[in-house]
Structure 1
Amino acid sequence: MSHTEKAPETKPDYPVTDRVREALAVTQRGVDELLPENEWIKKLARSEATGVPLRIKLGLDPTAPDIHLGHTVVLNKLRQLQDIGHSVIFLIGDFTSLIGDPSGRNTTRPPLTAEQVKANAETYYKQASLVLNPEKTEIRYNSEWCDALGARGMIQLASRYTVARMMERNDFHDRFHAGTSISVHEFLYPLMQGYDSVALKSDLELGGTDQKFNLLMGRHLQGEYGQEPQCILTMPLLEGLDGVEKMSKSKNNYIGISEAPNEMFGKLMSISDDLMWKYFTLLSFKPMAEIEALKAECAAGRNPRDAKVMLGQEIVTRFHGAGAAAGALDDFNNRARGGIPDDIQQAVVALPDGSDVVGLGVLLKQVGLVASTSEAMRMIEQGGVRIDGQVVSDKGLRLPAGQFVLQVGKRKFAKVILGQ
């Protein structure tokens, strides 16, 4: 793809109407930074006056096949901007995935194989389509223009940025001063991501706060290629179920959008009352005025559980449908009353050789309700283990052959058939 290098034309200023102000409010909801805001207002005003939608880009490297709610924070923002009439480009970084994004890393990120990228990308977009409007989403792959660059084009692109500025990036700076190796190919990642913005002539690029350097690179390179620079919008990182760490599969504090409805709803009900409001802002499609009114009602004495149920129902409905959301609420209420859900795993377990009983702690670990027998003992001590709905307090309990339901905590169940 060729990009003619000429100075951008001077654009007239267009009036800032009420519709422009409304669009700005939609843009600003829940954001961490919008840079530069005055340029974005001008872009919105021009779009409103001319009827030409703005081009809004989100690039994602499909490093894993599944999306969790943390990933949907930027997808939700894309959908909001899509709903007010702008063009959304869902960019799959099949080329940049082969480099490996160094953002926020203190070691080199291993690149993916082309096969892994292709498989992940297919699942990724299918799940992202549960948030975006597929009919109004342009899907692009950055191998389209990155492969075409070739060695000559890559060298010319690299001449557009200095090593000194590259080393201002926090992760490169910290690794250099710590004596940790930095491979030359890692410098290519922000350059290639920035070049995506040139190829797509984007007006706005979205990303997490950890992507700010890469997003600014897009602005810089667009200016180098004579284009009007894009604005950038960063969204905060969503804390996981622990309320402390960023939502992440590696931290096991995530809510996957493909998880079963009952599991998804139960996890949402487990978040803290304080964190719930951040989830509302970043994940809900309810108007902010409605959320603020609900927050005021809770501050005045309404049970926060009511609000959490609304949030859980909205999100489960989005990914699984209204019927599944209603069923998940019934299941949750049944469990809260000490009831046993219908859809629990079944485990057939044999008694140990030469014995007609098995220890409860060993059995809990064997059927996957705890990670270790020591965890089982701790849960029994805390009153978190039930057999057929009855709390068990005897850590030394040994069970004979039979059928029963084991429960650990509020959401872990197993129907056990224990035999010879």
Structure 2
Amino acid sequence: MLDVLLRGTERVVTEEALASRLASKRPLRVKLGLDPTAPAVTLGWAVVLRKLRQFQEHGHIAVLIIGDFTAQVGDPSGKSETRRRLSADEVGAYAERVLAGFRKILLPEPLEIRHNSEWLANLDMEAILELTSQVTVAQMLERGDFAKRYAARQPITLMEFVYPLLQGMDSVAVRADIELGGSDQLWNLMVGRVLQERAGQDPQIPMTMPLLVGTDGVHKMSQSLGNYIAIDDAPAEMFGKIMSIPDELLVSYFELCTDVSEADVADIAKGLSDGSLHPGETKRRLGSEIVKIYWGADEALAAEAAFDQVFKRHEAPQDTLEFRLPGEDPVYLPSLLRSAGLVASASEARRLIDGGAVKIDGERIGTFEVPHATLRQRVLQVGKRRFVRLIE
């Protein structure tokens, strides 16, 4: 069991302590806190959620903390500037949407879902003063991201200093045995240990997972950066996004996002390194493995077929939406693209037309005005995945 639970982890404080606690034969309380600051559950979040599920599969209790209070504060981990505060209404709307995604990954039992507003929203001044006395400003400034911002004379609010303490309070409130998090969360997880010890509890064991790099191949997967794959993306969309990731991410995605065995992952890494495996074919396997987890084997096969239809045979998807052509002749293409929902604005449309990203029946179109007859019963395409069929 220990080898399974350690797969893909980056830091465990400590492995010996984890082994000892697992040997106690009692169900451990394994905490994961996630702040609903965006509407989708991404493959990046799924890395730690899938690890939490592994603990469930071995009989331990998943304690999922919906950070509806801490989301209004904003986690400063890995941030180079102060985050915009979200309102309670914004957080509530996001929480409602992501909860279904969490349940898609986790087992229904053994599972506790808690909102940290239960114990944080009603803290009085005495409790806040007691909490903030637990850690010094000097200790806070030892944290890497704070140290960099302080050295660069960038603002750090007192509210940001409080965030790790609030997350630590979560661990005290649910009496966590283990806390999971991304590699940027280790400092926060260690604060939880301090607060638990001062509350007379056994300190939790922090376990961190690597941060999944997004589809851009540069930054961690983030909805704010747009480099993400959501677990609720349609199968064909999910498969297509996976096919777009840089080749150098393949091994980490197999390790962190699939159920492929460690031995197979090692073989994949070796094959990619010595050239015996083609990155494109390996990426197809990756796409199928991930789609299968969230949508099933049949949908994975259909997603690959849809990908081939668009990118190998250059055909429009079978479920292409229809859009009624306007009556004018010629048709102003930027306005048509915006009205059809293929772009957000006419200015974006003009940039895409100039960049050769707009096609009619697979042929690039480089003019803003197009004869009505040229568009009738044709497929209008933007980029690789956006299509409409134009009708009268």
State the alpha-carbon separation in 2 of the partners of residues 93 and 107 from structure 1. Answer: 21
Taking a change above 3 Å as real, the CA distance of residues 392 and 104 of structure 1, as seen in their structure-2 partners, is closer
| 8 Å CA contact 1:344, 1:413 repeated in 2 | yes
Partner of 1:37: 15
RMSD in angstroms over aligned alpha carbons? 2.5
Q: CA deviation at 1:321?
A: 3.1
Amino acid at match of 1:101: D
Is the aligned partner of 1:301 residue 2:276?
Answer: yes
Taking a change above 3 Å as real, the CA distance of residues 160 and 359 of structure 1, as seen in their structure-2 partners, is closer
Is the aligned partner of 1:398 residue 2:370?
Answer: yes
State the alpha-carbon separation in 1 of the partners of residues 190 and 308 from structure 2. Answer: 48
- Cα deviation code 1:209-251 (max 9, x no counterpart): 2212211101111222222211111211111111112212222
Q: CA deviation at 1:367?
A: 4.2
SS of equivalent residue, structure 2 residue 43: coil
- Cα deviation code 1:70-120 (max 9, x no counterpart): 111111111222222222110111222232222233333333333333322
Aligned residues: 384
Partner of 1:388: 361
Partner of 2:170: 196
Partner of 1:237: 211
State the alpha-carbon separation in 1 of the partners of residues 368 and 132 from structure 2. Answer: 67
Amino acid at match of 1:410: K
Partner of 2:62: 88
State the alpha-carbon separation in 1 of the partners of residues 45 and 32 from structure 2. Answer: 12
State the alpha-carbon separation in 2 of the partners of residues 123 and 362 from structure 1. Answer: 32
**80-89 or 360-369, which deviates more:** 360-369
| 8 Å CA contact 2:251, 2:268 repeated in 1 | no
Q: CA deviation at 1:348?
A: 2.3
**Bigger Rg over Cα:** 1
| 8 Å CA contact 1:360, 1:399 repeated in 2 | no
Taking a change above 3 Å as real, the CA distance of residues 116 and 226 of structure 1, as seen in their structure-2 partners, is same
| 8 Å CA contact 1:364, 1:373 repeated in 2 | no
Amino acid at match of 2:131: L
State the alpha-carbon separation in 1 of the partners of residues 220 and 72 from structure 2. Answer: 25
| 8 Å CA contact 1:407, 1:413 repeated in 2 | yes
State the alpha-carbon separation in 1 of the partners of residues 45 and 183 from structure 2. Answer: 12
Taking a change above 3 Å as real, the CA distance of residues 185 and 315 of structure 1, as seen in their structure-2 partners, is same
State the alpha-carbon separation in 2 of the partners of residues 157 and 386 from structure 1. Answer: 60
Residue 267 of structure 1, aligned match among 237, 241, 254: 241
Q: How does 1:180-195 map to 2 (within 5 A)?
A: 180-195=154-169
Amino acid at match of 1:337: R
The gaps in structure 1 that reach 5 residues or longer are 1-22
Q: CA deviation at 1:331?
A: 0.9
Is the aligned partner of 1:318 residue 2:290?
Answer: no
**236-245 or 291-300, which deviates more:** 291-300
Residue 100 of structure 2, aligned match among 120, 126, 132: 126
| 8 Å CA contact 1:157, 1:191 repeated in 2 | yes
Is the aligned partner of 1:62 residue 2:39?
Answer: no
SS of equivalent residue, structure 1 residue 90: strand
Taking a change above 3 Å as real, the CA distance of residues 393 and 92 of structure 1, as seen in their structure-2 partners, is closer
Residue 116 of structure 1, aligned match among 71, 87, 90: 90
Amino acid at match of 1:58: L
The gaps in structure 2 that reach 5 residues or longer are none
| 8 Å CA contact 1:33, 1:233 repeated in 2 | yes
